[in-house]
Amino acid sequence: MCPVYQSQAYNNAGQPGGVNNVSRPVKPAPLPVPPPALKLGQEGFKKVCRTEEDSPCPFPGLSSGVLEMRVKEGSKIRNLMGFAMARMQGEKGVSGVNSSGGGLRQVVFTGSGRAVTKTITCAEIMKRKVGCLHQLTKLRYKVVKEVWESTEGGTSEMTVHRTVPSISILLSKDPLDPQEPGYQPPETLSALWEEREGTEPATASKRSLGPLQYTSFPDCKRVCLGEGASVLPPH
C-alpha cells in the first residue's frame, strides 16, 4: 500500500479558509483558522486524481427527477446554460420563447472550490432569462479526496482530504418554503437592499449616526483605487 503522509496540501486556490485535514476521518473543520499550509504542489508532486466524496442532497424532499448541473472549474458557461436552458424551456421550443410551457420545473446548480463563482453566475443568468424563479441557496463544506504522486520517480503517493466550500442553488418554477434559510423570492435583484433596510431597525438598534453609514465602504475604496493606479499611470 502506498504510504500516507501526515502533511498538508496547499490549497492552490489561495484560499486561506480552505481547511486542510489530511488523511484523517472526515470531521468538521478544525477551528478557528487552519494553520498556514505547506506548499506542496510545486515541490515534486503532482495531483493524480481528485474525487468529491458523496454527500447527501442539501435539499431534502426534492423529487428524484430534478436536473442537477455540476459546475466545475473548467466548465464553460455557454455549454452549461445551453443545456440547462433547453431543459427548462422544453425541447419542443424551437422558435420563440415558451418559458412557461413544457420543460422541467426545477434545476439545481452545484459547485465547489473555485467553481463557486461560476455556479452563482449560472444561476443568476438563468433567473434573468427564465424569470419568476424561486431560489434556495445552501452552503456547506465538501470533502475532496486528492491523490498526489511524486514526479521524481519512486512510488511515493499521498492522499489528501481537503474540505472546500461548496454551494448548491435550487431554482424552481413552483413556490418554495419562504421560511427556509436561504430562500429568495423571484425578482429580488434590486429589491434586496430596500428590503434589508426596511428590516434594519429591528436588528441594529445601536445605530446612532445614520447618514454616515451609507457612505461608501472604505475597504472597497482602497481596493479599487489600488487597482486603478496599477492600470493607469499617473498623469
Partner 1 sequence: MNSEAHTNSKTRKNSEARKNSEAQMDPVEYTLRKRLPRKLPKRRNDVYVNMKTDFRAQLARCQKLLEGGGHREICVHGLGLAINRAINIALQLQASSQGALQLAANTSTVELVDDLEPEDPDEAGEPMTRTRNNSAIHIKVFYPDAQ
| Residues in touch with partner 1 (CB under 8 A) | 13, 15-19, 28-29, 31-33, 113-114, 116-117, 120-121, 123-124, 128, 135, 137-141, 165, 167, 169, 181-184, 188-189, 192-193, 196-197, 200, 203-204, 206-207, 213-217, 219-224, 226-228, 231-232
Q: Smallest distance, Å, CB 102 to partner 1?
A: 26
User: Looking at beta carbons only, is 94 or 209 nearer to partner 1?
Assistant: 209
Q: Are 135 and 171 in contact (CB under 8 A)?
A: yes
Q: Smallest distance, Å, CB 217 to partner 1?
A: 5
Backbone angles phi, psi at 106, to 5 degrees: -140, 150
User: What CA–CA distance (Å, rounded) separates 108 from 59?
Assistant: 9
User: Looking at beta carbons only, is 94 or 232 nearer to partner 1?
Assistant: 232
| Residue 127 CB neighbour total at 10 angstroms | 20
* Stated length of the chain: 235
Q: Smallest distance, Å, CB 150 to partner 1?
A: 29
Q: Smallest distance, Å, CB 231 to partner 1?
A: 6
User: Looking at beta carbons only, is 45 or 127 nearer to partner 1?
Assistant: 127
User: Looking at beta carbons only, is 118 or 158 nearer to partner 1?
Assistant: 118
Q: Smallest distance, Å, CB 11 to partner 1?
A: 10
What is the residue-wise DSSP string for 31-45? Answer: SS-PPPPPP-TTSSE
Greatest C-alpha distance within the chain: 66
User: What CA–CA distance (Å, rounded) separates 183 from 108?
Assistant: 14
Q: Are 162 and 20 in contact (CB under 8 A)?
A: yes
User: Looking at beta carbons only, is 29 or 66 nearer to partner 1?
Assistant: 29
